[in-house]
Amino acid sequence: MKELNTIICGPRLYRYGKWTFEVHAWCGPWPLRKDGELRKRAGRVFYAMVERWEAEPDREKYRIGGGCQVF
């Protein structure tokens, strides 16, 4: 019998400074609330932090989850 693998993909989750946010492949970064839900708005302070995060040489060290998982 063949083994079936399932791949589930979602946005990558990061924590940088005081921010927890997701980076979606199509929509880009968006901040999350403490309960993991999307915030209603993303303002100048958030996007200033995103610019600093994008300048980091190794962004993956801030990754806390998400992406593609094989089950």
Q: What is the 3-state secondary structure (H, E, C) of the chain?
A: CCCCCCEEEEEEEEEECCEEEEEECCCEEEEECCCCCECCCCCHHHHHHHHHHHCCCCHHHHEEEEEEEEC
59 CB contacts (<8 Å, ≥6 apart)? 14, 53
Q: pLDDT by residue for the chain (71 residues), tens digit each?
A: 677 789 999 999 999 999 999 999 888 999 999 999 999 999 999 999 999 999 999 999 999 999 888 88
Output the pTM of the full model. Answer: 0.84
Query: Cα 54 to the chain's mean position, in Å?
Result: 12
